[in-house]
Amino acid sequence: MSNTATGLPAPQGKLLLIGLWSAQVLLFIAFTLFGCMKFFMPVDQLAAMWVWPGDVPAWFLRLMGIIDFAGGVGVLLPALTRSQPRLTVLAALGCVLLQITAMIFHLSRGEASALPLNVILLALSAFILWGRGKRAPITPRQ
């Protein structure tokens, strides 16, 4: 998949890498933003934006904030620093499972309007899981 003369990745490999890094940055932004909102914002302000935060215990909302934040940091930071880059794959797996759970939660409550965002986040997480796990893993720093 690389050009033997120059050692550079082939064009399709370059596009894959650009797509993976873009997806990782997008997930980092989304999950850390939502995580901080769930952890730091008052419940009544969140309930004004989304219906469900007013219907769950505050500790559950704060826990979801921590999980979101950890997922966002996990999909980007280990790969970026090349320190334990395998954690990026595990974080992507966690984000996939989180989005599946979120979709079940929203469907059980009749909140189908929340699903498009969950589907997008699920697709990005699955892409990172596949890409960093199988197709373009990050090598650890020596």
* C-alpha to C-alpha distance for 99 and 102, rounded to whole angstroms: 5
In the chain, what are the helix, strand and coil shares in percent, each to the nearest 5? 80, 0, 20
Calculate the average pLDDT of the chain: 93
Average pLDDT value for residue range 45-60: 93
Average pLDDT over residues 43-68: 95
> Which two structure tokens, joined as six digits, stand for 38?
């769930």
Round to whole Å and give the CA distance between 12 and 123: 20
Helix (H, G, I), strand (E, B) or coil at 85: coil
Are 126 and 97 spatial neighbours (Cβ–Cβ below 8 Å)? no
The strand pairing partners of 2, in sequence order, are: 9
**What's the pLDDT at 88?**
98
Query: Which of left, alpha, beta for 73 (phi over 0: left; psi -120 to 50: alpha)?
Result: alpha
Angle between helices 11-40 and 86-108 in degrees, nearest 10 = 60
Q: What is the largest CA-CA distance in the chain?
A: 61
- The reported pTM is 0.90
Q: What is the pLDDT of residues 96-125, one digit of tens each?
A: 999 999 999 999 999 999 999 999 999 999
Residue 12 in this model has a pLDDT that exceeds 70: no
